[in-house]
Amino acid sequence: MNTIKADLCIIGAGSGGLSIAAGAAQMGASVVLLEADKMGGDCLNYGCVPSKALLAAGKAAHAMTQGAKFGITPVVPEIDFAAAKDHVAKVIETIAPVDSQERFEGFGVNVIREYGTFVDENTVEAGDTRITARRFVIATGSTAFVPPIPGLDQTTYFTNENIFDLRDKPDHLIVIGGGPIGLEMAQAHRRLGCKVTVLEGMRALGKDDPEIAEVALKNIRAGGVEIVEGAQIESVSQSGAEITVTDKMDRTWTGSHLLVAVGRRANIGNLNLEAAGIETTRAGIKVDASLKSTNRKVYAVGDAAGGLQFTHKAGYDAGIVIRSALFGLPAKGTDRHIPWATYTDPEIAQVGLTEEQAKKEHGAHAVEVLRFHFNENDRAIAEGKTDGLVKVMVVKGKVLGASIVGPQAGELIQLWALVIANKQKISAVANMVAPYPTLGEVNKRAAGQYYIPRLFESDRVKTIVGLVQKYLP
């Protein structure tokens, strides 16, 4: 058994683990990185990257059918489904060197391609190597949750971890789960020529503001995706090439392929956490605001820590760990300024509190909800993409949150994330000058709604203006 001593031992080479490894090694710490599966983790290989690549293929196909309003004859695209998957693989291949073992070894990281398991509070075993370290970081990410639906274990089904390997176009894809992953994949496959049915046990896009979600769902349905809400699945069965899904109301749907997209769970089951004195919750490893576990030498970041499951959240966590573990500085995190996006068409994006959350936390009378619709934005009108809405939640000028649905919502939400992160007020956005005509003007116009009743509907302001005009030379 080999023995290694290090300043930092990181388990998992996804977004969080790689960010910490690169930063720590380049700042002089001795770093061991353990990864038995693919470098880059879920995001590169099974999540963010391949899903956006497939969505891009679907978007290109869809654009060919939408030219009539611009005076361009629509055409029915010829879709090579396998070639679309080649595009996905090429995108992964192009990005992969950034996350490669060779690159991180170039930083001075000792990369060991084995699973890590705790032996005690100070030691991790990986293959034939034992690592003792001053600090450990669990960055093992998450995996698709597969519910115990009767018959599912005897049925061929896909998750996000293998759907991108499918090269034969499904005739009819049934998706169990109406969250972001399920609906992104549903819309992409529909635009690539598949019939698609989405079955959601409660409300589709249930974690998003209902007013915002409804705009996206209306457009997804208009594109031919069948979305059934309140469909709690009772059983699944397969007969030859046919897969049948039955819900508790005895409704049935039959298709050729099945995608299970009902959520994710932290990858922490094989770490032997008990040996290290690390407690867990239903969501993941129990951590405090500094991301330390109940073993103060062990941090957990990203999905493993049981919080928001986003690549950029793991990257944010990495900065907290580096400040704490490398410099011994107090460092605490918050989710209040962490944005997220769902990349359907139209996109959905959120940062901070939704309208419901803001009113619950601060009181309905205290919260002002500023709204601005995309159909009043000249760029959106010019491009024929007017289905959209910006909502901003404000209390006494302080921005609590923003919700956006519309084209490029994932880009537009970044301004509000900046405002919240830096504790700026609504005036910061209202004072901004946006180039004309851009979609970004929707943010400025939304901010401007805060001042309309204070300036244009105020008797006091009108009185003051009247007096000034009366006596102004």
Q: What is the rounded distance in angstroms from the CA atom of residue 158 to the CA atom of residue 431?
A: 49
Residues annotated within a binding site for NAD(+): 177-184, 200, 263
Residues annotated within a binding site for FAD: 52, 116, 140-142, 303
Terminal CA-CA length for the chain: 92
Q: What is the rounded distance in angstroms from the CA atom of residue 4 to the CA atom of residue 30?
A: 10
Residues annotated within a binding site: 52, 116, 140-142, 177-184, 200, 263, 303
Residue 293 Rama label (left phi>0; alpha psi -120 to 50; beta): beta
